[in-house]
A and B are shown apart, each in its own frame.
Chain A
Amino acid sequence: MIERANLEVFAETLLELAKKDKNIIVVTSDSRGSGKLTRFGMELPQQIIEVGIAEQNLVGICAGLSAVGKKVFGVSPSSFLTARSLEQIKNDIAYSDHPVTLVGISAGVSYGQLGSTHHSIHDIAVLRAINNIDIVVPADNYETKEVIKSAVNYQRPLFIRFGKKPMMKLHDGNHNFKIGNGIKIKNGNDLVIVSTGETVQRAFKACELLEKINISCSLISMHTIKPFDENILLNSISKVKGIITIEEHSVSGGLGEKCASILSQKNINLPFKILGFPDEYMMNGSQKDVLDYYNMSDEKIAKIAQNMIK
């Protein structure tokens, strides 16, 4: 079932929470429209700070507001937020230990044809290398709503990223969402697929294709990249013949390399494939077309899985 864009769920959840807590402050960089926060701005004008197109300043101001007791959400396109303002994230949020939530909107290749200036396929890698900031990439509306609820009183610096396309429902709602704990969406014996964010639904559909030819996969939504849930990965691989990771991110420094690092240091040697964007001048197109091109269509994922266990 197709639900709404995670972006909309984020904005709606934040507005509901902020109506009950005037200490929740949103900071935007001419990004309230793209962040679906126009209604927030109209209903709670005292709780939104607009800095204009100045992402470095946005992050610094977030740190300052947090330092005087505010619960701060800095919202800006992930590409600018995590590249232009990286030093502010590193020093003013992470190193200075301000429990700000930074929300990278339109992450991955959500901006489609707008091209590489707007794509954010580096954000997980760069923030993984920075001490004292956690990273969450919700897959669907449920995970988005839960992570925003958790973020309000989270006591650590936090980065959340998502895109803007409607997402399918992946959870039955009986899961107990917790930052740091991956969620097993499917149980299977042949393969494990680990994915994060908007590619989880593609992995889900690939699993359904594979089920039709009697290949059963475990599917993990690894919504939290840092701190990483090693246990859910290690507990899922005892019987399987291979592991595939899928992410809307560069293959360098993302989910796949994190999994590879864990497995190799545990001396686990299984067929292993990382799906993501290679180190090359990127193809342009819609999010769908770009993901499809780089082997992340439902069919291509299923094919790669099939070949892996031959």
Chain B
Amino acid sequence: MNTKDLELKSIDYRKTILEIIFNGGAGHTAGSLSCIDILNVLYNNILDINPRNFNNYDRNHFIQSKGHSVEALYTVLCDLGFFSKDDLSTLNKFDSHFIGHPTKKIPGIEHNTGALGHGLSVAVGMAIGFKLDKQNHKVYTLLGDGELSEGSIWEALLSANKYSLDNLVVIIDRNQLQITGKTEDVNPIEPLKEKFNAFNLSTKEVDGNSVKELNNILANTPFEKNKVNLIIANTTKGKGISFMENEVMWHHKVPSNEQFILAKKELEELKMNIEND
């Protein structure tokens, strides 16, 4: 998919995220909006995961460790045909498998996440498995920046480096905010790049809301032979909706009817600008 198509997709995805959260009455709004461009590029241009090959081991794998941004993941998987929009509209309803965190009950989801700091170890296990089998498949995982306070993340990075997992691509959704406030106020994680480099990982920074930059970087792994690929994707929490951007309260706030209409209007305007470009 070319850049323009990806950009248009991202706008449609943002609309769907807001729609399902609005209708479902709950969701992690701002974090889904910050990481949707990453998921967009991954699923449409990089991963080659689809409903036909999903049940094989023999393919790339993706684990969303920051499970709370599941609305973004549902949106992309729905677009790829893993399930229908009608299925997705059951989000948060009693007895629906579409709950507030990813589970394998949903077609297209690899692993149940939600408790933070878990996905990376699982991804490391998958990547080791592929190395043992001399398979060229890659394993991608998306972590939140607040999630980096979990000690298990750093355990997993040690093992990833030990086993020279250049088939592992770790993406940090660096949106600078977590539920309480700024990551640097809650529990500072900077200097992040230096930390990752000190762990002997191959670290790159990217504008995580630029599908063009994301596509360039994700299409070129491994960055270095025998080194883990670590991408700090600098994003904006609430990206795309002016009144949600960088506002802590939108972590899991549901838009009111007026806010929903306003947000859709902003996205329509963005779409027109891109189409007319």
Contacts and interface: CB of A to CB of B under 8 A. Distances in A.
B126 A69 contact: no
Interface in A32-53: 46, 49, 51-52
B121 A61 contact: yes
Interface residues of B, number: 33
A70 B158 contact: no
Interface stretch (B15-23, B92-100, B110-118, B175-183): B110-118
A52 B161 CA distance: 13
B127 interface: yes
A302 interface: no
B76 interface: no
Interface residues of A, number: 27
A180 interface: no
Interface of B is mostly: helix
Nearest to B159: A51
A65 B61 CA distance: 12
A91 B114 contact: yes
Contacts of B121: 56-57, 59-61, 63-64, 88, 92
B173 to A, nearest CB: 20
Contacts of B194: none
A61 B104 contact: no
A68 interface: yes
B111 A96 contact: yes
B158 A54 contact: yes
Interface in B119-143: 120-130, 132-133, 139
B224 interface: no
Contact of B125 (A54, A56, A63, A87): A63
Contacts of A96: 104, 111-112, 122
B130 to A, nearest CB: 6
Interface of A: 25, 46, 49, 51-52, 54, 56-57, 59-70, 87-88, 91-92, 95-97
Given A56-B117, A67-B61, A67-B126, 7 more contacts: A25-B129, A57-B124, A57-B152, A61-B121, A63-B122, A69-B57, A96-B122
Interface of B: 57, 61, 103-104, 110-115, 117-118, 120-130, 132-133, 139, 151-152, 155-156, 158-159, 163
The 6 closest A-B pairs by CB, nearest first: A64-B125, A60-B121, A68-B129, A57-B155, A61-B125, A54-B155
